[in-house]
Amino acid sequence: MTGPDGVSVVLRDGDQCHYVDEDAIAPLWKGKRFPLEFSVAGWAMLHAETVVIRDIYVDPRVVQANYRLTFVNSLAMVPVGRKIPVAA
């Protein structure tokens, strides 16, 4: 990573993403849950692929409403686990 403004730890919990911790310049989603299909972390886990998004406002995998009031403009998400990722 090159100077990120925040890092989140997201666990897969059934059909949801659970944002269990974060270290960021402003609060994001710590303690919240989202359906896997409505989260970039969920996308990374469902597809078992790393995601790099330079502009969240033009990428179709990003649910705009989730980011509208945040400082996030770009992001990278890495799945954790080989066959079936359990976190990102």
CATH code (residue 28): 3.30.450.40
Does 41 map to a domain?
Answer: yes
Measure the CA–CA gap between 49 and 52, rounded to whole angstroms. Answer: 10
Does 16 map to a domain?
Answer: yes
Q: Which two tokens stand for residue 58?
A: 């033009």
pLDDT of 54-73, one tens digit each? 999 999 999 999 899 999 99
Measure the CA–CA gap between 68 and 78, rounded to whole angstroms. Answer: 22
pLDDT of 11-48, one tens digit each? 999 999 999 999 999 999 999 999 999 999 999 999 99
Does 85 map to a domain?
Answer: no
Check residue 59 and give its pLDDT.
96
Number of domains in the chain: 1
The structure's pTM equals: 0.90
